[in-house]
């Protein structure tokens, strides 16, 4: 598949899990892919090595989403080293959970900075370089639509904000032919939420399909949204959650 041949994508948090699957899928579909990591340098290099082995082109950059300057610099380095940017995937994020009474303002601020502010900063920086056909895709969560248990207030708040960000960006960038979407994933088997984790037995009962999804399920949705034939999809959420929010 070469549907993205000639395109350049930047995937934040692309060293593992969903981010790695997205980077590998976009490369498989023909795009040159830049990916960032915060601390997992070895894993990021392994993803790039796999892309290279499959005949693709990869660029690895260290960038902590908590640092707006690092986020902007990653966009600029992508353009400088790969010549352009056509697809931005805001994937990097952190999770904070626990009793409401124990939540701190510091936790809320960091969660907001990494999961929401960084997505805005990256989109703003990337939009300066994108032309018609540009794609901005953010990875959200089905918790923006349904919160089935206590202890998830801060995370649900941050992921819900990505829907508003997406709608606003879509209006700002629509006249330029740039589409903006958010992919709300459900129970995905990753290091953050493994299918054999302590709460997996209960969580498996929440989706209509009764099981966890795979990182490749999210990557497939992102790949579809990145393609030319998704040109009329913007300002909306695409939910890939196995019926989590049904």
Each residue's pLDDT tens digit, 144-182: 999 999 999 999 999 999 999 999 999 999 999 999 999
Q: Are 35 and 23 in contact (CB under 8 A)?
A: yes
Structure confidence at residue 77 (pLDDT)? 98
Helix pair angle (153-173, 105-112), 10° resolution: 30
- pTM, full prediction: 0.96
Rg of the chain over Cα atoms, rounded to whole angstroms, equals 17
Confidence grade of residue 192 (pLDDT, cut at 50, 70, 90): confident
- Return the biggest CA–CA distance within the chain: 51
Other CB atoms within 10 A of residue 3 CB: 15
Annotated active-site positions, please? 155
- Fill in the DSSP letter of residue 29: T
- The CA distances from residue 226 to 20, 59, 80, 155, in Å, are 16, 19, 21, 26
CATH (one of 1.10.760.10, 3.10.105.10, 2.90.10.10, 3.40.50.720) for 8-239: 3.40.50.720
CA distance 99 to 93: 20
CA distance 162 to 160: 5
Residues 6+ apart with CB under 8 A from 106: none
Average pLDDT, stretch 6-31? Answer: 97
pLDDT tens figures, 95-154: 999 999 999 999 999 999 999 999 999 999 999 999 999 999 999 999 999 999 999 999
């Amino acid at each position: 598949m070469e549907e993205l041949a000639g395109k350049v994508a930047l995937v934040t948090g692309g060293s593992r899990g969903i981010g790695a699957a997205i980077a590998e899928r976009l490369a498989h579909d023909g795009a040159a892919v830049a990916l960032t990591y915060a601390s997992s340098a070895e894993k990021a290099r392994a993803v790039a090595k796999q892309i290279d082995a499959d005949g693709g082109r990869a660029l690895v950059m260290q960038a902590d989403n908590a640092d707006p300057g690092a986020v902007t610099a990653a966009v600029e380095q992508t353009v400088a080293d790969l010549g352009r940017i056509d697809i931005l995937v805001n994937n990097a994020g952190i999770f904070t959970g626990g009793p409401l009474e124990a939540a701190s303002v510091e936790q809320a601020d960091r969660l907001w900075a990494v999961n929401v502010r960084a997505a805005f900063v990256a989109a703003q920086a990337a939009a300066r370089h994108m032309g018609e056909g540009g794609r901005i895709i953010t990875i959200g969560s089905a918790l923006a639509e349904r919160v089935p248990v206590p202890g998830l207030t801060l995370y649900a708040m941050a992921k819900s904000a990505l829907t508003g960000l997406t709608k606003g960006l879509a209006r700002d960038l629509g006249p330029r032919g740039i589409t903006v979407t958010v992919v709300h994933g459900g129970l995905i088997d990753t290091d953050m939420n493994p299918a054999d984790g302590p709460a997996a037995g209960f969580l498996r009962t929440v989706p209509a399909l009764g099981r966890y999804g795979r990182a490749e399920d999210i990557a497939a949705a992102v790949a579809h949204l990145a393609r030319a034939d998704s040109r009329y999809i913007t300002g909306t959420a695409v939910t890939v959650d196995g019926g989590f929010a049904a």
